[in-house]
């Protein structure tokens, strides 16, 4: 019998190793940007095509490489950053394992141009499948430019695994923001498909944050600065009204490297306690500088996790630094935090409650159930998704009767459409509608019903039959985080079918030109912003299409809220809509739309 063990060829070994380092275009972007910063560059340009799938190029004006180093750089474990194991405890640069370039060269077609200041000519290297195809002297400016083309061209399984361009682009922007935020002293530009997405002039940290996250942050940042013998903390936290329902504006850096730390996140949350609603996240960009000897570096560098020698101390410092900052700037909660303009304009808010209204409302247990959940722009959390999935994905169709009382089984709902007494609709507690039927009644939850009706209408739209839109005399603009721009762009077309005519106005700004006619003017901005937040919450649900996500999140935002008084005509429209939608039993989130009561059962309960 012959021996069966053999050594893997280098290119295969590198491909396998690459799996850990380069998972998607964004990982390559991160490695290349970090290398440029490590090389001492103060001007770095990133260029991508097709969300990095066809091209990622990073050019810097850093120290460049010698002819020999340029070749060496692509070898596995080739690094200039450590020499012996003790160096690991001193390391302050970004990379140190020498794996990035070797990995990139294993899974893409790479072209490197580099020149040191002291050299006459630069070096050009072309490499593919870990093999050098060409090396020659070349005229080049001082610095390094690396272009990687056709990522995973030789690993089709990985290439197929890549997500949509919008989604990969979002990952790239996230990484770009993380690296550039840590280096405001460096100029960065980022061009995607020929369009400059970011142009970040050198400046201070505050300017950089505003450049990255948006102008609206400028007046809302509170400086954090605490120096101790053990560690230094500096950076910014957002005032409470910058808090959002979704994550995204939370940044920790340790010695200049972005990290994720649920534990330290908790420390900041504690400092913000009582200043923001429990279901929202404060903005922060906090930099911790600590002696590298107090870190356990044996955690994989791309994993973004870190181990502190004593994390309790770090926790306490972070918490007190943030508390201190908030107190110094006497940041207090803003009272109208949870209210959106739509509800402030509604009759229920503008007209004082009559005594009768009040008693009616306060006596019921419903009054007490007016929890935070029912407030103006509560955004549904994904905890409800599972429920929803059970209902929709397994059955495919809408289970009208399941979960309802026995009544619905006995009643042919289609017949009810003609038979419900449209003149006798009654609103109860500004929250429910009673729909009398010949042999009973429905108790309809107005918000849930409206959400289900809107969802039904949205799902029936097409290019030929969009929701009618009304042109705004004064278009409203919304400014988004750069990271949200590709997501929003992805659904602009869908939104136009739903009655919102929106134009990309340049960079992060969008102009709302038209809105559905039944939306009060002035509420469109809040609706769309909240809709986007909710859309992002659905983002991880792979099985739901982006269209579907748009329908669901917009329906949730547009639905009338509890506390809205409805006149008879509005109730009629809503209930007709409900029957037109075949009386859906549930909202897309899986909440009940109505309860049915039938006379016979009711009478029995009363002993008749």
Point out which span in 29-37, 287-295, 385-393, 397-405 binds Mg ion (CB under 5 A).
Answer: 29-37
* DSSP characters over 204-238: -HHHHHHHHH-GGGGGGEEEEEEE-SSEEEEEEEE
Point out which span in 100-108, 150-158, 370-378, 493-501 binds ligand ADP (CB under 6 A).
Answer: 100-108
Closest separation in Å from C-beta 301 to Mg ion: 9
For residue 77 the two structure tokens come to 């474990």
Q: Are 518 and 467 in contact (CB under 8 A)?
A: no
Q: Among positive and negative, which fits the CA dihedral 32, 38, 39, 43? A: positive
Residue with Cβ nearer Mg ion (35 or 145) = 35
Q: How far apart are CA 270 and CA 266, in angstroms?
A: 6
- Write the binding mask 80 to 119 for Mg ion: x where contact by CB under 5 A, - elsewhere: ---------------x----x-------------------
Q: How far apart are CA 255 and CA 253, in angstroms?
A: 6
Residue with Cβ nearer Mg ion (35 or 346) = 35
Q: What are φ and ψ of residue 516, in 5° steps? A: -60, 145
- Write the binding mask 80 to 99 for ligand ADP: x where contact by CB under 6 A, - elsewhere: xx-------------xxxxx
Closest separation in Å from C-beta 299 to ligand ADP: 15
Q: Are 107 and 159 in contact (CB under 8 A)?
A: no
Size of the site for Mg ion (CB under 5 A): 3
What letter does residue 323 receive in the DSSP assignment? H
Q: How far apart are CA 575 and CA 447, in angstroms?
A: 12
* DSSP characters over 124-158: EEEEETTEEEEEEEE---SEEEEEEESTTTT-HHH
Query: Quick one: what does residue 235 bind among Mg ion, ligand ADP, none, with the CB cut-off 5 to 8 Å set by partner type?
Result: none
Query: Quick one: what does residue 98 bind among ligand ADP, Mg ion, none, with the CB cut-off 5 to 8 Å set by partner type?
Result: ligand ADP
Figure out which of the listed residues 28, 47, 53, 60 binds ligand ADP, where binding follows CB under 6 A.
Answer: 60
Point out which span in 58-66, 84-92, 119-127, 362-370 binds ligand ADP (CB under 6 A).
Answer: 58-66
Residue with Cβ nearer ligand ADP (68 or 335) = 68
Q: How far apart are the first and last CA of the chain?
A: 91
- Write the binding mask 513 to 552 for ligand ADP: x where contact by CB under 6 A, - elsewhere: ----------------------------------------
Residue with Cβ nearer ligand ADP (96 or 153) = 96
Figure out which of the listed residues 18, 48, 61, 62 binds ligand ADP, where binding follows CB under 6 A.
Answer: 62
Query: Quick one: what does residue 374 bind among ligand ADP, Mg ion, none, with the CB cut-off 5 to 8 Å set by partner type?
Result: none
Helix axes 546-558, 524-537, angle to 10 degrees: 130
Residue with Cβ nearer ligand ADP (83 or 543) = 83
Query: Quick one: what does residue 590 bind among ligand ADP, Mg ion, none, with the CB cut-off 5 to 8 Å set by partner type?
Result: none
Q: Are 185 and 175 in contact (CB under 8 A)?
A: no
Residue in this structure with the two tokens 């002819």, named with its chain if needed: 67
Reduced 3-state DSSP string for 296-308 = ECCCCHHHCCCEE
Does 101 contact ligand ADP by CB under 6 A? yes
Figure out which of the listed residues 14, 15, 27, 35 binds Mg ion, where binding follows CB under 5 A.
Answer: 35
Residue with Cβ nearer ligand ADP (19 or 577) = 19
Residue with Cβ nearer ligand ADP (39 or 482) = 39
For residue 63 the two structure tokens come to 């120290």
Q: How many secondary structure helices (H) and strands (E) does the chain include? A: 22, 22
Does 558 contact ligand ADP by CB under 6 A? no
Q: Taking the CA atoms of the chain, what radius of gyration do you get in angstroms?
A: 29
Query: Quick one: what does residue 78 bind among Mg ion, ligand ADP, none, with the CB cut-off 5 to 8 Å set by partner type?
Result: ligand ADP
Q: What are φ and ψ of residue 9, in 5° steps? A: -60, 155
Residue with Cβ nearer Mg ion (304 or 375) = 304
* DSSP characters over 45-93: EEEEEGGGTSEEEEEE-S----HHHHHHTTSTT--SS-SSGGGGGT--S
Figure out which of the listed residues 61, 144, 261, 564 binds ligand ADP, where binding follows CB under 6 A.
Answer: 144
Length of the chain: 608
Figure out which of the listed residues 29, 51, 73, 268 binds ligand ADP, where binding follows CB under 6 A.
Answer: 73
CB-closest chain residue to Mg ion: 95
Does 52 contact ligand ADP by CB under 6 A? no
Angle, CA of 483, 485 and 486, to the nearest 5°: 95
Query: Quick one: what does residue 81 bind among Mg ion, ligand ADP, none, with the CB cut-off 5 to 8 Å set by partner type?
Result: ligand ADP
What letter does residue 596 receive in the DSSP assignment? E
Question: What residues line the site for ligand ADP (CB under 6 A)?
Answer: 31, 35-36, 39, 60, 62-65, 73, 78-81, 95-102, 144
Question: What residues line the site for Mg ion (CB under 5 A)?
Answer: 35, 95, 100
């Amino acid at each position: 019998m012959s021996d069966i063990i053999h050594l893997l060829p280098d290119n295969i070994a590198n491909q396998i190793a690459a799996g850990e380092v380069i998972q998607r275009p964004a990982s390559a972007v991160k490695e290349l940007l970090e290398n440029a910063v490590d090389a001492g560059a103060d001007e770095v340009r990133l260029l991508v095509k097709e969300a990095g799938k066809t091209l990622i190029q990073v050019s810097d004006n850093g120290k460049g490489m010698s002819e020999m180093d340029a070749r060496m750089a692509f070898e596995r474990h080739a690094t200039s950053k450590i020499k012996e194991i003790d160096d690991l405890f001193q390391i302050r640069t970004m990379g140190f394992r020498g794996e990035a370039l070797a990995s990139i060269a294993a899974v893409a077609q790479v072209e490197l141009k580099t020149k040191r200041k002291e050299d006459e000519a630069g070096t050009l290297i072309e490499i593919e499948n870990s093999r050098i195809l060409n090396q020659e002297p070349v005229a080049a400016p001082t610095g390094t430019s690396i272009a990687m083309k056709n990522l995973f061209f030789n690993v089709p399984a990985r290439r197929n695994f890549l997500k949509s361009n919008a989604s990969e682009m979002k990952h790239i922007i996230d990484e770009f923001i993380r690296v550039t935020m840590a280096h405001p002293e460096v100029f960065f530009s980022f061009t995607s498909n020929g369009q400059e997405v970011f142009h970040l002039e050198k400046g201070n940290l505050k300017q950089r944050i505003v450049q990255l996250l948006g102008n609206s942050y400028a007046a809302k940042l509170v400086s954090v600065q605490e120096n101790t013998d053990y560690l230094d903390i500096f950076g910014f936290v957002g005032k409470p009204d910058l808090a959002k329902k979704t994550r995204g504006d939370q940044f920790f850096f340790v010695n200049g490297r972005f990290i994720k730390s649920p534990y330290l996140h908790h420390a900041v949350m504690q400092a913000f306690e009582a200043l923001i609603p429990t279901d929202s996240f404060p903005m922060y960009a906090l930099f911790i500088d600590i002696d590298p000897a107090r870190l356990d570096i044996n955690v994989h560098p791309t994993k973004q996790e870190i181990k502190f020698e004593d994390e309790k101390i770090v926790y306490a410092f972070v918490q007190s630094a943030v508390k201190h900052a908030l107190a110094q700037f006497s940041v207090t909660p803003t009272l109208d935090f949870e209210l959106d303009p739509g509800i402030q304009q509604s009759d229920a808010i503008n007209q004082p409650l009559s005594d009768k209204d009040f008693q009616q409302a306060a006596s019921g247990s419903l009054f007490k159930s007016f929890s935070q959940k029912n407030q103006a722009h509560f955004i549904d959390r994904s905890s409800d998704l599972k429920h929803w999935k059970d209902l929709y994905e397994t059955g495919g169709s809408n289970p009208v009767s399941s979960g309802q009382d026995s009544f619905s089984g006995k009643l042919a709902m289609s017949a009810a459409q003609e038979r419900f007494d449209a003149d006798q609709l009654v609103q109860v507690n500004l929250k429910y509608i009673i729909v009398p039927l010949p042999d009973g009644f429905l108790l309809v939850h107005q918000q849930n019903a409206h959400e289900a009706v809107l969802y039904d209408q949205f799902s029936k739209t097409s290019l030929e039959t969009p929701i009618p839109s009304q042109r705004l005399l004064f278009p409203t603009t919304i400014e988004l985080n750069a990271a949200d721009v590709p997501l929003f762009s992805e659904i602009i077309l869908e939104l136009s079918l739903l009655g919102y005519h929106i134009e990309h106005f340049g960079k992060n700004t969008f102009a709302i030109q038209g809105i559905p006619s039944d939306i009060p003017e002035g509420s469109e901005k809040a609706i769309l912003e909240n809709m986007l937040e909710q859309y992002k919450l659905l983002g991880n649900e792979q099985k739901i299409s982006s269209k579907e996500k748009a329908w669901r999140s917009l329906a949730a935002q547009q639905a009338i809220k509890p506390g809205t008084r409805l006149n008879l005509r509005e109730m009629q429209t809503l209930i007709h809509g409900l029957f037109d939608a075949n009386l859906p039993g549930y909202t897309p989130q899986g909440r009940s739309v109505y309860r049915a009561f039938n006379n016979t059962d009711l009478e029995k309960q009363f002993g008749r």
